[in-house]
Amino acid sequence: MNKTSTAQNEEINEILKELVITRIEATMPSNLKLSIGTQSGLSKQQVIEHVKKGDDIGRQVIQMHIRFLKAQATGEFVRALNSVEDD
């Protein structure tokens, strides 16, 4: 990989992190904790810190957001929701 594409990938990763952090800030309540993977009960601030660092937990959180965004973009999410009836 040349220097330009490495720099571009890093820039995309940073944009991705920013997007995920914006989503967490907007939707994760401060009074709740998130458990993901082997990580027990993370506060909103801790989740954001992991995403900023890009460690294992941060990557798992980013992947969770990307999977959800993809499902929305492809229509898979709406199709799945419409497949079940309300009680």
Partner 1 sequence: MTKGIIITLPRYDDVTEYISQFSKYIIDEAKNRGILIKELKDKEVTKVHLDKILNGIRYKMVIFNGHGSESCIFGHKGEKIMECNSNEKLLSGRIIYARSCDAASKLGKSIIEHDKTGSFIGYELPFVFYHNPQWEANPLKDNVARIFLEPSNAIPISIIKGNEAGYAHHNGRKLFLKNMRKSLLTKSVEALSFAEALWTNYIGQVIYGNEAATL
Q: Minimum Å distance from CB 38 to partner 1?
A: 5
User: Rounded to whole angstroms, how far apart are CA atoms 20 and 51?
Assistant: 8
Shortest Cβ 3–partner 1 spacing (Å):
34
Q: Which is nearer to partner 1, 53 or 67 (CB)?
A: 67
The amino acid at 85: E
Contacting residues toward partner 1, per CB under 8 A: 23-24, 26-29, 31-38, 40-41, 60, 64-65, 67-68, 71, 77, 80-81, 83-84, 86-87
User: Quick one: tokens of 72?
Assistant: 């929305």
Pick from 11, 10, 13: which is nearest to 66 by CA?
13
